[in-house]
Amino acid sequence: MIYLQLFLSFFQIGLFSFGGGYAAMPLIQHQLVTLHGWLNMTEFSDIITISQMTPGPIAVNGATFAGIRLAGIGGALAATFGCILPSTVIAIILAKLYYKYRELSFMKGVMNGLRPAVVAMIASAGLSILMLALWNGAFDIKSTDLIAAGIFLAALAVLRIFKIDQIWVMLGAGVVGAVLYAVI
């Protein structure tokens, strides 16, 4: 039964997550943490972190890792297939329709209308992860994790000022975090 539940949950995520993996994060969080209670926020954050560090689309990686965590290899297959099936079918249909009607102003209006919604979903996912990392999910300035805040600000500065590749910044932040949390 868990295989069917995983498939249907990730099918819904795949069906409604316009804008890619980062836009899917709030939907994944809703299904796994809020609706079904399969994971807590810390476990969800860990899965998202691992999904970002491994090659491939973040939503598919998240489905795979969540499926393994919840029901082993069968769960990974069910969740991953559920995640990719709707987008595959939708992409084929939309590609045919777009190719046929791409010059219509209605089509251009739809594409322009989706952009702000996708940006909002990505921002929501980013803020959720930031809240979890710095305040363990509940904003309280007194309980701010100063090490995590410092690493976040330093990584942001390195990315913006020095334009270093994101992978190196993530690896560096992980090493600095491991050392600081081990020492302090």
Give tens-digit pLDDT for 96-152.
988 888 788 888 888 788 889 888 988 988 888 888 889 987 788 888 999 999 999
Averaged pLDDT score across all residues of the chain: 90
Instruction: Give the contacts of 67 (CB within 8 A, at least 6 positions apart).
Output: 6, 10, 74, 75, 76, 77, 78, 79, 80
Q: What is the pLDDT of residue 160?
A: 95
Q: What is the pLDDT of residue 12?
A: 93
Q: What is the pLDDT of residue 169?
A: 95
Per cent of the chain over pLDDT 70 is 99
pLDDT digits (tens, 9 = 90+) for 58-68: 889 999 999 99
State how far the Cα of 59 lies from the Cα of 32, in Å rounded to an integer.
13
State how far the Cα of 66 lies from the Cα of 45, in Å rounded to an integer.
11
22: amino acid identity, one letter: Y
Burial class (CB within 10 angstroms; exposed 0-12, middle 13-18, buried 19+) of 179: exposed
